[in-house]
Amino acid sequence: MPLVEMYFGKGALTDEQKAELSRKVTDLVVREAKQPQQYTWVIIHEVPMENWMVDRLTLPELRAKLMEKKSKG
């Protein structure tokens, strides 16, 4: 049984976007991996923005840093 997991920031996608993305991913797995649609699972995890970290910064901190940098230059 194929399982595809995706992670997005909380609120990044609407329910309709998540449903459409899940259908498209399922179609891709069926077509390219030759797996049965009824056994293909897609899970979309929504992670709060403050739980995404890069370069020791949360996503809100990184955005603020980039906006500050943009305003200076």
SS3 category, 68: helix
Per the DSSP assignment, residues forming a β-bridge with 45 are: 7
Band of pLDDT at residue 73, cut at 50, 70 and 90: confident
What pTM was estimated for this model as a whole?
0.78
For the chain, domains (ranges, CATH) are 3-72 (3.30.429.10)
What does the pLDDT look like over 26-67, one tens digit per residue?
A: 999 999 999 999 999 999 999 999 999 999 999 999 999 999
Q: Which residues contact 22 (CB under 8 A, 6 or more apart)?
A: 42, 44
